[in-house]
Structure 1
Amino acid sequence: MRQRRFLLCVFWLLSASALKAQEQPEDSTQFTVEEMVKFALINSPLVKISELDAEIGDRQIKSSLSAWLPQVSANTQWSNNLKLQTQPIGDQLITFGQPYSGNLNFTVDQTIFNRDVFLASKGSSLARNQLSQTMETQKIEAVITVARAFYDLLLSLEQIKVFDENIVRQEKQYKDARARFEAGLVDKTDFQRASISLANIQSQRNRLVSSLDAKYSYLKQVSGYPLDQELTLHYEYGEMAKRAELDVAPDFIMENRVDYQLAKTQYSLSELETSYSKWAYIPAIKGFYNYNFLFFNQNFSGLLDESFPTSALGLSASIPIFQGGKRSDEVRLARLKQEKSLVSLNNYEKQLNTEYETALADYNANYFAWQTLQDNLDLAEEVYNTIKLQYDEGVKAYVDLVVAESELRTAQINNYNALYSVLSSKLDLQRAMGLINPSSIESSF
């Protein structure tokens, strides 16, 4: 019976462990580019700051709009009138007041019209659009920055793999050349060349390895990933090659760009500022209600025994009559700023069109170069394999093998550099076309 209970306990423990293992990811430190970007959109300092700026701006809007609501305040004052006021009335001197006095005043103000509050009300929707569009623009920048850092680190890792393969191949060639020299088949220059080539490859590999820590740190910085945690990139060359393809036709629709929408919102705000400056001629009007409790007595102890309240209800208006030409100058200034904003918007439209044309040209050029270098890589591999066979048979000199091996390594490195350039220029083209959508990363990549 005890044995049966023990077996049941073991079974439940193993089942719980298996279930827990299924609930957790196999490796939470391994990221694809989409997963890295999604992580950054939550944890990136740039995104967090933009979200805080949006929240700060929203609170400022709500604070400004609160002026439309009734403003209630209370004031109180208590005095010991050390010297009472004396006034001559006829041939007598009359003393006014009591030694102790106080008051408790409640005031309610209701804004009916005020140009500052009216501007806040009219511009609240535009201001919120501006905050939202600014935050979206910052998220797009975060996506591009993190993706580029990911691709740059990926490029270095792939180049290190190329050098590792070349080192293995070069070490074998060095051993073969030394064996041939010791057998008296060739002179010592063959294995000396192999030694020099091997040292050069190892030096280039070490330079790349030394740069990895800095590139990992930069990727962690821009994505908000903890510096003290391990980070592993998950990728496949074939998958990266597929990403180089642009899935949609490169049609340029300027309204798709969030930063262009932001520029139009800023122009609309400049139009509102012009209207605001004209409202300076309109009086500020508010309603008010006061209720005041007055207290006074000969003795401090009896000050609160009896109150003498007063109250008032009314309207107040502040009418600007003459301000030395300030209002007309402010209207002209606002119009000039609006005109400047319109010129800037028109120029920005041209700038965005130029950016699109440049990004499209760069992408097409880089994509064509990558396709060409892929063909060169196939040829370099074929040439190397042919010369390697000829060298092994004693037909070709070792120097030809060294040249072929160097050309193969160069073709491999150039191929990865070209792929990185295509991926990077694709990001620029997607941004120029307004295709990067932070809320749907899968469709953006």
Structure 2
Amino acid sequence: MKNLKLILLLFAAMPFPVAAQSAWSLKTCIDYGLKNNRTNLIYANEKKAADARAKEALAAYLPSVGVNGTVDDNLKVQQTLIPAGVLGPEDVRVAFTKKFNTNLIARIDQTIYDQSLLTSLKANKYNKQQAELNQLQNEEMIIYNVSTAFAQIFVYREQLNMLRSNLETYRKQMEITALQVKKGTVLRKDLDKVTVDYNNGQSQIRVAESNLSLSENQLKYEIGYPVDKVLTVDSTAAADVFKADPISGNGSFLAENRADYRISQVNTKLLEIEESRIKAGVLPKLSAYAQYGMIGYGDQLKPSFSTMAPYSAIGLKLTIPLFDFFKRNAQREQAMYKRLNAEENLKIDEDRYRLEYENSATKVMKEQSNVDNNRRNIELARSVFRTTDLQYTKGTTDLTDWLNAQNSLKEAQKNYLNALLTHFQARMDLEKASGTLKTFYTGLPTANEN
């Protein structure tokens, strides 16, 4: 028994490999978001609602069946007067009903011709398209938001790496300056200057860590991932993912690529159908019906049921609207002007979307140039700092020059990070403006490809 316990203890103490969570690439995050973002359910329900509306419109042209029943208690039976000379020399009052009468009827109605209903059926196709485009637009918004949050994580990580490197430089300089103060070769104020910058660096790291945590939570929210769970993000290849392609914007833009433009087109078609439906309201409507019923009378309630007699009828019903011209004409004019405005807004939107595309393409190229310039500035600032650091070590320059060189490097790093984030944002704005967010997503490398 003791040997068994010893074996179990040794077994429990043995190191076993723990499956670590694999890092999520941008494509993995978007995949998860497209499946788990809560807005997906909303737009999926809207699509189902559009299907239900189509069935409702079709049902108006299908047979309708109804059953009605009534039981009347005539508290005071109405009498009819038969003039004198018909049944006798004096007027005769006669009741053509009894105290209780019951009526049960089943009726089926079928529309044979109603142009307004036929026109309304054409809207089913566009209602479905509208729901599908709304769903597509939501997916594009998820791609845009997830990509933006992912880019922020990359930039904050880059910032943390730079801040920590700078902090290590200040720490080493503090040690050197402290020794110099002990030897009496420099004043205490020089050590204080380095210490102040070191403390500032620590504060900046804490802020950057907080920003990184917030951006990670934002990414979890955008993809529908539990905020209280750890999400390991692989952002090492983000710079290549968001790298700008050479885009000139000369004629390659198509407004039809944008989901919002196609939604406006569908809305215009729906307004055309609504205008046609109102016009068709002046045409005659023809329907057929068939009914079967039973009716009974009695001085007491029970005989009114036991003496029920059947009856039936079939027929046609023709409805011709005659005196609602002014109302219907006003409705038609309202629908016409709505359609005309929608067509004009479509042209305005096309020009506006083209402007957004051209501006976004220009901004992407400009921001790419800014990123490259600021990256070169960092290398130049590093080179100047290394030279100044060597000179300070040899005693050929003072601490002020060393601090100025380090501050110049920090400024170059700050400008680079700002340019990098702005460039990432501009790239996503360009994808949105050109209507290629889905193409951007499908072209992303997977985690293995990274």
Please report the TM-score for the alignment, with normalisation by the length of structure 2. 0.86
Q: 1:63 aligns with which of 52, 56, 61?
A: 56
How well do the aligned residues superpose, as a CA RMSD in angstroms?
Answer: 2.7
Name the residue aligned to 1:139. Answer: 139
Match of 1:10 in 2: none
Cα distance between partner residues in 1 of 2:398 and 2:149 = 43
In structure 2, distance between residues paired with 1:121 and 1:220: 43
Q: Quick one: structure 1 residues 375 and 304, their matched pair in 2 at CA, closer, same or farther if it must change by over 3 Å?
A: same
8 Å CA contact 2:106, 2:293 repeated in 1: yes
For residue 112 of structure 1, give the secondary structure of its aligned residue in structure 2: strand
Give the whole-Å Cα distance in 2 for the aligned partners of 1:274 and 1:81. Answer: 49
Aligned pairs (5 A) from 1:195-344: 195-236=195-236, 239-247=237-245, 249=247, 251-323=252-324, 325-344=326-345
Instruction: Find the counterpart in structure 2 of residue 359 from structure 1.
Output: 360
Of the structure 1 ranges 175-184 and 296-305, higher mean CA displacement relative to structure 2 is found in 296-305
Residue-by-residue CA offset, 1:184-243 (whole Å, 9 max, x unaligned): 22222321110111122122222233334443443333332223222332221xx12211
- Which string of whole-angstrom CA distances, capped at 9 and with x for unpartnered residues, describes residues 61-114 of structure 1? 322222111111111112333333333334443333333332221111112233
- Specify the alignment match of 1:101 in structure 2: 101
Match of 2:13 in 1: none
Aligned length in residues? 424
Where do 5+ consecutive residues of structure 1 fail to align? 1-6, 8-16
**What do the CA deviations read for 1:11-39 (whole angstroms, capped 9, x no partner)?**
xxxxxx99xx8xxx7417x4322222222
Matched, 1:87 2:94: no
Partner of 1:42: 35
Deviates more, 1:132-141 or 1:45-54: 45-54
| Match status 1:31 vs 2:29 | no
Alpha-carbon distance in structure 2 between the residues aligned to 1:395 and 1:382: 17
Cα displacement string for residues 345-383 of structure 1 (whole angstroms, at most 9, x for unaligned residues): 111110011011000011000001111111112222222
Matched-pair contact (CA < 8 Å) for 2:100–2:301: yes
Partner of 2:187: 187
Specify the SS of the correspondent of 1:101. Answer: strand
Quote the Cα distance in structure 2 between the aligned partners of 1:114 and 1:204: 73
Q: CA offsets per residue over residues 255-311 of structure 1, 9 Å max, x none? A: 222222222222222222222232121123222111112233444344443431111
1:31 aligns to what SS in structure 2? Answer: coil
Alpha-carbon distance between aligned partners in 1 of 2:433 and 2:266, rounded to the nearest angstrom: 19
Residue range with higher mean Cα deviation, 146-155 or 127-136: 146-155
Structure 2 counterpart of 1:172, one-letter code: K
Instruction: Summarize the Cα distance change of 1:277–1:120 in structure 2 as closer, same or farther, 3 Å threshold.
Output: closer
Alpha-carbon distance, 1:407 to partner: 1.9
Unaligned runs of 5+ in 2: 1-6, 8-15, 446-450
Structure 2 equivalent of residue 125 of structure 1: 125
Is 2:45 the partner of 1:52? Answer: yes
In 2, are the aligned partners of 1:177 and 1:191 still within 8 Å (CA)? yes
Contact 2:137 2:260 in 1 (8 A): yes
Q: Distance in 2 between matches of 1:84 and 1:105?
A: 23
Paired-residue identity, % = 25
One-letter amino acid matched to 1:55: K
Measure, in 1, the Cα distance between the counterparts of 2:147 and 2:419.
Answer: 16
> 1:247 Cα deviation (Å)?
5.0
- 2:421 counterpart residue number: 420
SS class of match (2:71): strand
Letter of the structure 1 residue corresponding to residue 203 of structure 2:
S
Question: Is the CA contact 1:146–1:222 (under 8 Å) kept in the aligned structure 2?
Answer: yes
- Contact conserved, 1:37 with 1:146, CA < 8 A, in 2? yes
Contact 1:98 1:296 in 2 (8 A): yes
Aligned residue in 1 for 2:374:
373
Q: Which of 129-138 and 297-306 deviates more?
A: 297-306
What's the CA shift for 1:444? 5.9
- Structure 1 counterpart of 2:432, which letter? R
Q: Determine helix, strand or coil for the equivalent of 2:342.
A: helix
Moved more, 187-196 or 360-369: 187-196
